[in-house]
Amino acid sequence: MRTTKEYILKNPLEFKEKLLEWSRQFDEIAWLDSNEYDHSHSDFDAVLAVQAFTVLKTDFHKGFSKLQEYQEVTKDWIFGYLSYDLKNDVEQLSSRNYDNLHFPDLYFFQPAKVIQLKGETAIFRYLKMVDDEMKVDFEQIDQGENFVKREENSEVSGIQKTEIQSRISREQYLKKVNDMLSHIHRGDIYEANFCQEFFAENRTIEPFEIFKNLNKISIPPFAVFLKLESNYLLCASPERYLKKSGSEILSQPIKGTAKRAENLEEDLKIAIELSNDLKERSENVMIVDLVRNDLSKVAKRGSVQVDELCRVYSFKQVHQMISTVSAELEDGIPTVEVLRATFPMGSMTGAPKISAMKIIEELEETKRGLYSGAVGYFTPEGDFDFNVVIRSILYNSERKYVSFSVGGAITSKSIPEKEYEECLLKSEAMREVLKG
């Protein structure tokens, strides 16, 4: 179905920058970038998918069944996203909160052109109908030809002074966290992820420039630029949701965040304190238990194991506590069923999962949509890799609406004021790039 050709690159980093610029001409773009992050579970340094040949776009109703049919019929590379509100397809839940983004609940496309970067090699995987364009495309990318005339109007400048508003006030946030704590003290839940939205109305931004600035500030291992018609995701996520390679499945939940310090000694001290923080460790362990339970639904008996527990990783802006859980997939389980059985990811819900999602819906003011969902791809063999959509800006260019959300895990040991401060810490990168 696809023609594959490899090209040796003289300057891989320069080619990568040119490749993203070249993608500007397309209506459907999925750009996944590991930012040369050193982790052993990555299959490539970056991948670009453009020019939809077929598309699946739907609301949550039977969303996973439709995706399974699309994936099994296509048997090709497909890229796209799962919004948080697909929870309503998995359980008897609903999403009635305010939504001004209006993204579809699920959107995947089969790209005519896929270009992977690995080391000093670019691998072009084109559908037969466009494979005669390979050589010309490579040469145009390599030479850095400009395909799209950029707007000079300050209205669409990437550094426009975008005014950010909060959907709820600090006082409302503190009250809602206290309400969440009341649920925990009553025994309704052990932990829940509580999120709040920041937004700007009637604003036009330049998504490519904003994304490049956000990526430069954060340098995350699961960065994504997604353009699907008038909907954009500019994502600087540090977290993997789920990866399938053959019969192996892998999840890497994050719980536990601390700021970085410029002073090396102080920075190391902060990382050690995070590693030993009993509240942060308990948050992480609870979610690891939830992930283990989710994976056990589709794994061979006794194969679920914790490869890494509460290890602190350092990113450009924050330290994060990450665990790694793996399992061997039971024979005969459909590829998409692995996602359905574990969705939404535990790090963005809480425990017990269903109770936490119900309480989240009551207390949050905004429909999450793509935020705290997942973006990724399927291979023709049925493998996949998806991130967790956090540290991200969502933009509907038609409605001129810009949004980003942040949240944190609320446990019995949570102090509302400190949780609010953590939200502000997580929002810094998005605020910075939108304010210019």
Q: Which residues are marked as active site?
A: 239, 255
| Listed residue (177, 156, 165, 188) closest to 356, CA to CA | 188
3-state secondary structure of 178: helix
Residues 79 and 107 sit within 8 Å (Cβ to Cβ): no
3-state secondary structure of 282: helix
- Alpha-helical runs (H) found in 163-277: 170-186, 207-218, 264-276
- What is the DSSP secondary structure assignment for residue 295, as one 8-state letter? H
Residue 409 CA to residue 420 CA, distance in Å, equals 11
- What is the DSSP secondary structure assignment for residue 302, as one 8-state letter? T
Residue 191 CA to residue 288 CA, distance in Å, equals 12
Residue 207 CA to residue 33 CA, distance in Å, equals 16
Residues 404 and 415 sit within 8 Å (Cβ to Cβ): no
Residues 387 and 375 sit within 8 Å (Cβ to Cβ): yes
Q: What are phi and psi of 187, to 5 degrees?
A: 90, 10
Residue labelled with tokens 């950029």:
150
Residue 387 CA to residue 223 CA, distance in Å, equals 9
3-state secondary structure of 321: strand
Joined tokens for residue 361: 């819906």
> Chain-centre distance of CA 403, in angstroms?
15
Tell me the DSSP string of 42-103. -S-SEEEEEEEEEEEEE-STTHHHHHHHHHHHH-S-EEEEE-GGGHHHHSS----SB-SS--
Angle at 391 between CA 369 and CA 182, to 5 degrees: 70
3-state helix, strand, coil in the chain (%, to 5): 35, 35, 30
